[in-house]
Amino acid sequence: MLIMLSSNYMATPKTRLLFCFLLCTIFHFQLSLQDPQDEVGFLVQPDYVNNNMLQMKRDSRKRCDFSVGKWVYDESYPLYDPNCPYLSTAVACQINGRPDSDYEKWKWRPNDCSIPRFDALRFLGKMRRKRIMLVGDSIMRNQWESLVCLVQGVIPTGRKRVTYNGPAMAFHAMDFDTSIEFYWAPLLVELKKSPENKRVLHLDLIEENAKSWRGVDILIFDSAHWWAHSDQTSSWDYYMEGNNLIRNMNPMVAYQKGLNTWARWVDLNLDPQRTKVIFRSISPRHNRENGWKCYNQKQPLPFFSLQKHASEPMVVLKGVLKRMRFPVYLQDITTMTALRGDGHPSVYRKAINQDEKQKQGKNHSSDCSHWCLPGVPDIWNEMFSALF
């Protein structure tokens, strides 16, 4: 930038001093734009701007609302081979004979920001010497398999392994001293057998599960699907709270009580300087009960009205998180995922012949809850990676 002033105007000491001040200010401003610490890409503000505002701007990418946006077709996807050896049979849709593959090529584009493409080496570098644990139900297992497949391709064969320990399994990236673990706890709180062989859901007990969560650097939770099961598919016979055995209870009241027990444990036992906690919202189903089906769906839905099974748990979850002292990040994937009726295994949850496919499709007997991999959970993990 060049400022031209006449020699007459430059004559007085006061104007010369003003000119020097302007040049110094411009030079300082240009240097500030080149600040190597300015990784988010905002303009560095003058020193008198509140430090909290600077930090908020530096964290603008992390604070972006990933939940509002649209699905866009991207030929560069999927991010890993459908033959990833860590996929369970139920979600390996290509191996099971699904004839189309466009469901692998949709990327989520938020309205006000972008989600960086998953970079396995960068992610493992950020997670060096850390334990990541995904805690929850089979949808969380879905996400765990996705995350393992996203990273495993850059690790030499002899430097990765999976170990099993009761309700837990862990993928180890040895050169990074990183573990990506899954812990089976679909209700978070404890489900036990009574002396009468009845299944009792203890709404105020959690330590039996939670003892395995101590010492973990990043915890990702989900819990909703099992709470919404009907009487016919319920996993328990009774609720218990304190010494009170309860036969019937509104499922969302029970869900809130269970989440409150989880929240109290997190508040009392975890240090936010040591552990980061994320809670992933419910992943909607697309079955007949919700007015949709997923068989033979081949592209994202144009719209989806969230049904009771998805909207009520979300309200409960937000209420519980709001009352917590511990800063939990809510990963809201509910609305964006509701649009992806094409991404479920449907009848391709196992290898079947064409007659079976047609028969099951007509009867709507297909898996419209879990997700084909590669597929939708890969985007959840890109969102997760973008937080670090």
- Looking up tokens 């990765």 gives 160
Q: Which ranges of 201-248 would DSSP assign to H, the alpha helix?
A: 207-210
Structure tokens at 98: 């699904």
CA distances from 152 to 69, 89, 121, 126 (A): 29, 18, 10, 15
Residue 115's CB is within 10 A of a number of other CB atoms, namely 19
At residue 275, φ and ψ (nearest 5 deg) are -130, 135
Please name which of 76, 108, 147, 88 lies closest in space to residue 372, comparing C-alpha atoms. Answer: 88
**Distant-in-sequence, close-in-space partners of 244: CB < 8 Å, separation ≥ 6:** none
Q: Are 277 and 266 in contact (CB under 8 A)?
A: yes
**Which residue in the list 137, 222, 342, 367 is annotated as catalytic?**
367
**Which residue in the list 101, 114, 138, 234 is annotated as catalytic?**
138
Q: Are 236 and 203 in contact (CB under 8 A)?
A: no
Q: Are 382 and 361 in contact (CB under 8 A)?
A: no
CA distance 71 to 74: 9
> Catalytic: 367?
yes
DSSP structural state of residue 352:
-
**Which residue in the list 286, 370, 378, 385 is annotated as catalytic?**
370
> Catalytic: 369?
no
Q: Are 187 and 223 in contact (CB under 8 A)?
A: yes
> Catalytic: 138?
yes
In which order are the strands placed within the sheet that holds 190-193? Answer: 190-193, 199-202, 238-241, 244-246
Which are the catalytic amino acids? 138, 367, 370
